């Protein structure tokens, strides 16, 4: 297993950025692994190592119908010789495989056993009782939380931050889409600190009312961060897996301008927020802004 591939940092050349006198780059983590790609790979890799060390035979995890994490876990399990089980929100999907998202179909194709449960049952997914029942129903199973977000997932971003330090040692801003916040926590926790070059890490939650994620992120970071970081919660475009016309337009313009594909659920919302923040004067002349491509391209069939 190659845990840490090197991905390009692509400079985005555009008159708009020249006018603002800033440099903008995209860190191409959608290219970090042929199938698992993006933040999913960083979040899964150390968990796979742990599951192997514990001699587990199966990976079990949770997600909704459009969860990139479900698809990624199925592929990772198959590649690494584990069986996989996905506990999916929405019991109505069990009887209607014809309505499954591309993500669910892909997970099933990679051998994941899908188990559909009610939304009420799903809300209980991380209670000690539920976890105990799952462990006894499926012995020798490594359980990953929703989104794969745990402390090993956060730790998985350390090599990425070291790589960025080499590729662009004087970056000033790093922008990422946010779901559970574990990815952002990893970026904040492992961003090297320079006295003379203060850094800001900005997270763009893809779901409504993202403020609630702050204490979770803080807990994962584990201590007061030396970096300033912020959640910009107004770019969810209607909520998780929802899109808006301005978002889709911005996504199309970006893709055509830079020839880089985005996904509408996460990375496009970060890019949309970036342009708005640029308009609002967030980035001072001389800033070096990195947009993190967190992958998610397998969900591009989503039609809104
Ligand atoms: C493509 C993509 N970007 C960003 C995120 C957000 O990651 P996190 O849950 O660690 O905040 C996800 C999460 O599912 C994702 O699939």
CB of 296 sitting under 6 A from ligand 1: yes
Global pTM reads 0.95
Q: Which atom of ligand 1 is the closest one to the Cα of 181? A: 11
Residues above pLDDT 70, as percent of the chain: 97
CB of 266 sitting under 6 A from ligand 1: yes
Query: Quick one: tokens of 119?
Result: 């939304």
**What is the 58 CA–ligand 1 centroid distance (Å)?**
23
CB of 263 sitting under 6 A from ligand 1: yes
Round the average pLDDT of the chain to a whole number and report it: 94
Burial class of residue 258 (count of CB atoms within 10 Å of its CB; 0-12, 13-18, 19+): middle
Per-residue pLDDT band at 1 (split at 50, 70, 90): low
What's the pLDDT tens digit per position in 122-158? Answer: 999 999 999 999 999 999 999 999 999 999 999 999 9
Q: Which domains does the chain have, with CATH numbers?
A: 9-35+152-299 (3.40.50.1100), 39-150 (3.40.50.1100)
Protein residue closest via CA to atom 7 of ligand 1: 179
- Which of 70, 151, 157, 183, when mutated, tests ligand 1's pocket best, judged by the most ligand atoms within 8 Å of its CB? 183
What's the pLDDT tens digit per position in 60-97? Answer: 999 999 898 999 999 999 999 999 999 999 999 999 99
Q: Are 159 and 3 in contact (CB under 8 A)?
A: yes
Assess whether pLDDT exceeds 50 at residue 304.
no
Assess whether pLDDT exceeds 90 at residue 298.
no
**What is the 265 CA–ligand 1 centroid distance (Å)?**
9
What's the pLDDT tens digit per position in 251-279? Answer: 999 999 999 999 999 999 999 999 999 99
Which CA distances in Å does 176 have to 61, 181, 271? Answer: 23, 10, 9
**Closest to 142 measured CA to CA, from 60, 75, 252:** 60
Assess whether pLDDT exceeds 50 at residue 33.
yes
Q: What is the DSSP letter of 180?
A: S
CB of 103 sitting under 6 A from ligand 1: no
CB of 237 sitting under 6 A from ligand 1: no
CB of 181 sitting under 6 A from ligand 1: yes
Report strand pairing: 173-178 vs 23-28.
unpaired
CB of 47 sitting under 6 A from ligand 1: no
What's the pLDDT tens digit per position in 103-129? Answer: 899 999 999 999 999 999 999 999 999
């Amino acid at each position: 297993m190659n845990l840490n591939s090197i991905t390009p940092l692509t400079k985005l050349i555009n008159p708009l950025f020249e006018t603002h006198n800033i440099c903008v780059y995209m860190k191409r983590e959608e290219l970090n692994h042929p199938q698992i790609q993006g933040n999913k790979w960083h979040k899964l890799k150390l968990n796979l190592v742990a599951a192997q060390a514990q001699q587990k035979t199966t990976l079990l995890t949770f997600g909704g119908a459009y969860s990139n994490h479900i698809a990624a876990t199925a592929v990772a399990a198959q590649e690494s010789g584990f069986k996989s089980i996905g506990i999916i929100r929405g019991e109505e999907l069990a009887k209607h495989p014809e309505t499954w998202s591309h993500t669910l179909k892909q997970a099933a194709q990679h051998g994941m056993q899908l188990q559909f449960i009610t939304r009420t049952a799903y809300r209980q997914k991380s209670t000690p009782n539920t976890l105990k029942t799952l462990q006894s129903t499926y012995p020798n199973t490594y359980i990953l939380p929703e989104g794969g977000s745990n402390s090993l997932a956060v730790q998985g971003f350390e090599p990425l931050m070291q790589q960025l330090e080499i590729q662009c040692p004087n970056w000033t801003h790093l922008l990422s889409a946010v779901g559970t916040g574990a990815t952002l926590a990893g970026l904040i926790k492992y961003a090297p600190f320079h006295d003379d070059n203060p850094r800001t890490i900005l997270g763009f939650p893809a779901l409504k009312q993202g403020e609630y994620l702050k204490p979770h992120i803080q807990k994962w970071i584990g201590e007061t961060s030396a970096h300033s970081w912020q959640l910009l919660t107004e770019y969810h475009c209607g909520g998780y897996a929802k899109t808006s016309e301005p978002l889709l337009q911005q996504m199309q313009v970006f893709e055509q301008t830079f020839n880089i594909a985005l996904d509408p659920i996460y990375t496009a919302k970060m890019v949309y927020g970036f342009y708005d923040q640029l308009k609002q004067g967030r980035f001072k002349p001389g800033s070096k802004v990195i947009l993190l491509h967190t992958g998610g391209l397998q969900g591009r069939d989503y039609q809104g």
